[in-house]
Structure 1
Amino acid sequence: NKCNVGYAFINMTDPAQIIPLHQAFHGKKWEKFNSEKVASLAYARIQGRTSLIAHFQNSSLMNEDKRCRPILFQTEGPNAGDMICF
């Protein structure tokens, strides 16, 4: 059905930002979409940017339509927020 499954893996580099992120998103609905799902934040089994990249590079998701593949963003410097080739 080409709908996303609703996962986001956010590599937090500053532990102090976990609480504000949780307060902003946990339990909130995505009103833009016709869905009853609410955001739920939890620690991931795989930790760290390098480990996440290695995991998804070897994932069957990389064989899916480009729109369904994981994406990666620059997090520091003047290009922060720009998408990086996975």
Structure 2
Amino acid sequence: MAIHRKPTVTNPQASTNVESFIEQGGSVPLAPKKEKAKAIQYTQLRLTADEVELIDKAREGRRPKPSRHAWILEAIYEKVNTETSNQT
């Protein structure tokens, strides 16, 4: 491994500017605020073993087989669409 000499400062005013800039400090950038509509709200769902088995059987016929979570979300969206279209 080669050893090099410490670089010399060619412009001493430039190093003073850098040091003064560092001394000014700064602030941490703020994270963007989440919109309420897009925030995830967790919901607990309780199913019997028989209900989970029925869901898994329904998923088997699909290629690619969706996850249980995706299948349940799809069923919810279908039900919501049916219910909202009947109201108009």
Could you state the TM-score of these two structures normalised by the residue count of structure 1? Answer: 0.24
Could you state the TM-score of these two structures normalised by the residue count of structure 2? Answer: 0.23
Which entry has the higher C-alpha Rg, 1 or 2? 2
Structure having greater relative contact order (Cα 8 Å, sep ≥ 6): 1
Q: Structure 1 or 2: larger strand share?
A: 1
Q: Structure 1 or 2: larger helix share?
A: 2
